[in-house]
Structures are given as structure tokens and as C-alpha cells.
Amino acid sequence: MLYENGKPFHDYVDADKGLVDRVIFSDQAIYELELERIFARAWNFMCHESQIPKAGDFFLSFIGEESVIATRDKKGELQVLLNSCRHRGNAVCRAEEGNARSFLCTYHGWTYGLDGQLIGVPGYKDFYHEQLDKSQWGLVKAKVASYKGFVFATMDPEAVDLDEYLGPVGRMSIDLLAAQGPLKMVAGVQKNIIGCNWKLAVDNLFDYYHVGISHASAFMSNFRARDPEAPPAPPRFSFGKHRVWLGDYGHAIGGPRIPTDEMANIIAHDNPNLDETWRHRDDARAILGDQAIESVGHPNIFPNLWVTEANQISLRLPKGPTGCEIWWFTLVPEGLDEKQHEEAIRGANHQFGPSGFLEQDDGENWDQSTRQTMGVVARRYPLNFSMNLKHGEVITPADGGAPYVDTAINEHAQLWTYRAWADWMDAESWAALKASRTPVPSDRL
């Protein structure tokens, strides 16, 4: 059945039984509404502040399918500008990153300052008779804010502020990286397109069920090895011990946990291929608290930012209902020597991205999963997200930390993402979303 205008999106996600309608993964009308109700409304990740440290530095990113320029103006303030001239709409910036004094439109020459103001119009006096009000024709500006160097932007003036948007689970997602110490972004972003719906790529980041099957050959090849002579790193996770946080507005962290005493064993082995020593530092525990310090799971900041614990972050950018552009950013600790720096980048390249062992396996599955949502017969049958459903008890920590669930392998974070997706899709405005969103569960998952 195709999307019917007016049917509530919560009808496509059965949170009680753990079922999701396949139509949401390939329907054009649903996709177009996602661009409007999710991407044009949410706080979208732009870049890391270390990518645009100086006035005039810029980095081209996306809000949904729309090109935006993340830049730093003359006062050093972060700006995010829609990359579309107000005259005939031409893109005013074509380079993916760089440094500029202003943005000159190559069509007729309107020129915009780093803060988006229209500062130059050829023929302003003779052809426009000085009657064009330049103050009204600047580039469209997003609201911008950053958390620990991670820059986000929203095109919706009604959006809650970034701190409220991230909430404890969104902040914890970034803290899991920030707690490792000062980091800087490696130059260049790896980009590739996979023929899948963007939500299936997000869904997979919480998925540990597939690891032993999809990635069997990658693990046999010891792909993570920085030192091939060292014994294989000890296994970091089991199916039996998982920890999940569900956050307001759709953020979630899901995946394995390693209790502190087991982590001490891993660290004691001093394996060069698995450096977890940061987890024993007091400052890291102070930032993360007693629960998150044990998490080796994966966070998603809704809608599409995956923060891996392994110094890589990824955007799943929508490119039509059956296309997704994957971006991989690599962060490295500050102060590495040249060899360590090289090893960190090689490790990241071997893991995710176009040359990564893991995403080669994953992409093929997501492409096929997407194709199989298009069949008129296949669409009659929902997808199943019932693993360990209703077997998890929510624990609310006494210290006021975010509620979580300790359980075995599960699909709670995936199902939560789809529930939140339905909240966003059913709400006609930020005010409606605030009023009607599903509360973070406080009893059972």
C-alpha cells in the first residue's frame, strides 16, 4: 500500500509489536515530507570547529538535500548560510572547503559577506536606481550553535535551542568522543553513495546482530590491526551485555557495554590494536559518569549523525528515497607524533568509509533491503524489530543521570528511532512536535 496523505505516520510504526511498514523506505511522497518535517526542522550536524578555525574559513555541508555554507565571519562567529543566490538561485560557493573574503555569485555578480549580507550588486545605481533594499536580500541564514566543537544548524526559527535538543543522550553521544581528550578533524571527508534509504543506514549503526555474519570475513582478516605482529585484540563485546539509552527527539545510544572490571583486563593486556586506556582516566569518568564510561555502543544524534567511539563520525545524507550519501569524518587526538597520526588514519580508513572493510559489507545489505521495500507484494509485509522487546527494565540512576536499560542484544534503539521519526512526521510544527512527541520510556522497553 502506498502512502496515503492524511494517514498518521504512527500507523506505519507499531511500537507495541515492533513492526515497521516497508513503504517508509522507498515512497517518494514520504521522502519529500521527511525533507520538510525532519531535515528542514532539526538541528543538523555541519562540521567540527577545527575545520573552520579562522575568519573566512568555510566548509560546504547539507541540510537535507540543500547545500549550505558553514563559515566563520570577520568577528569569528559561526554562520551557516543557504548556498543559493537570492537573485536567480545560483550556488554562490562551489568549493567543498577553503577560505574566502566574500561569496561572489558567478552568474551576475551579486556578492555576499561572510555573515550572508548582500554587499555588492552590479548596476546597483544605474539599473536598480538604489531602490533595492540590500538588507532584505542577504543569503538565507540558519540558526547555529555548537557543543564541544561540534557545529549544528537548523533552518527552523521555532526550533528549541541546541542544548535542549541534544538533551542528556545527545550530549553524552558527543561526550563519548570528547572524554578521550582534545581532538582535531583530519583534513578531507570520505564520501560515497549507497543505493539505500537513509533510515536503513541509521538503523544499522545500532545493529550488533549482523556483525558476526555480515563482517565475518573482515574479522578473519584482523582488519583493525595497527600492528599486524601483535596478537589479535581481545573481543570487546558479547551478545549478552548491552546498554541502551533513549533520548528526547529521537537520539539514542545502543550497543555493548564492558563492565569496568572487564575493561581493566582489556587495558592490562596492553594490546596496541585496542587502546582503551582513556576509560581509566579520572577526567573521562568525571565527564561520562559511571554508566556511560562502560558503553562501547553507538550513538545516533537524530536524525542522521553517527558518533562512533572509534574517532570517526558519519552523516547519512538523504539523496532521494533510495539513495544515501555517506560522509566519514576522522578525528585524531591532538599531540600525536607522525607515526601515531598515520596509524590512526589508517585504522579509520580500514574500518569505515569507501575503503573500509565494514561498510563494504553493510552497503550491499542496505541496498538490497531498500530494493525489497519496493515490491507490491513485499510491501504487504512489515519489517520485524521485536528482538528482546518488553524484556528491558528502565533504570533511573540515583545521581540524576539519563535513564538506561541493561539487557542482551536488542533492537530498542532502532525501534525508538522509528517512533521518533513518526513523531516528527506527524507534527506540523515545532510547537506540535514539542507537545505531542513520545515521552522517553521510564518503565519497560
Which of 109, 181, 272, 375: binder of ligand FES (CB under 6 A)? 109
Give the shortest CB-319-to-ligand FES separation in angstroms. Answer: 24
CB of 320 vs ligand FES, minimal distance in Å? 26
Query: Is residue 69 at the binding interface for ligand FES, with CB under 6 A as the rule?
Result: no
Cα 435–Cα 441–Cα 442 angle in degrees, nearest 5: 115
List the single partner that 117 binds among Fe ion, ligand FES, none, CB under 5 to 8 Å by kind. Answer: none
Nearer to Fe ion among residue 242 and residue 437 (C-beta)? 242
**With respect to ligand FES, which residue has the nearer C-beta, 105 or 153?**
105
The one of Fe ion, ligand FES, none whose footprint includes residue 102, by CB under 5 to 8 A per kind, is: none
Q: How many CA atoms lie within 13 A of 12 on its CB side?
A: 27
Positions touching Fe ion (CB under 5 A) are: 358, 362
Q: Which residue type sits at 68?
A: V
Strands (E), 39-181: 44-48, 57-63, 66-72, 78-82, 97-99, 103-104, 111-112, 118-120, 143-147, 150-154
Per partner kind, with CB cut-offs from 5 to 8 A, the member of Fe ion, ligand FES, none near residue 110 is ligand FES
Q: Is the dihedral of CA 372, 373, 376, 382 positive or negative?
A: positive
Residues 86-105 contacting ligand FES, CB under 6 A: 87-88, 90, 105
> Residue 362: which of ligand FES, Fe ion, none does it interact with, CB under 5 to 8 A by kind?
Fe ion
Cβ closer to ligand FES: 19 or 132? 132
Cα 141 to Cα 71, 129, 160, 298, distances in angstroms: 11, 27, 16, 32
Q: How far is the CB of 20 from ligand FES (least distance, A)?
A: 43
Tell me the closest approach of the beta carbon of residue 100 to ligand FES, in angstroms: 16
- Regarding 143 and contact with ligand FES (CB under 6 A), the answer is no
Cβ distance to ligand FES smaller for residue 110 or 421: 110
Q: Which does 13 bind (CB under 5 to 8 A by kind): ligand FES, Fe ion, none?
A: none
Choose the one of Fe ion, ligand FES, none that binds residue 391, judging by a C-beta under 5 to 8 angstroms depending on kind: none
Q: Do residues 320 and 438 lie in contact, with contact meaning Cβ atoms separated by under 8 Å?
A: no
Q: Give me the residue label for grid cell 549478552.
A: 240
In the complex, least distance from residue 104 CB atom to ligand FES, rounded to whole angstroms = 9
Q: Is residue 107 at the binding interface for ligand FES, with CB under 6 A as the rule? A: yes
User: Which grid cell sits at 130?
Assistant: 538604489
How far apart are alpha carbons 303 and 177 in whole angstroms?
19
- Figure out which of the listed residues 94, 108, 210, 444 binds ligand FES, where binding follows CB under 6 A: 108
- Residue 52, classified by CB atoms within 10 Å of its CB into exposed (0-12), middle (13-18) or buried (19+), is buried
Residue 23 C-alpha cell reads as 513503504
416: enclosing H helix or E strand? helix 412-426
Q: How far is the CB of 69 from ligand FES (least distance, A)?
A: 14
For residue 51, what are the β-bridge partners?
A: none
The minimum distance between CB 125 and ligand FES, in angstroms, equals: 16
What is the residue whose three cell numbers read 544499522? 204
**Which three cell numbers, joined as nine digits, stand for 407?**
539487557
Nearest CA to 404 out of 238, 164, 262, 242 is that of 242
Residue ranges binding ligand FES (CB under 6 A): 85, 87-88, 90, 105, 107-110
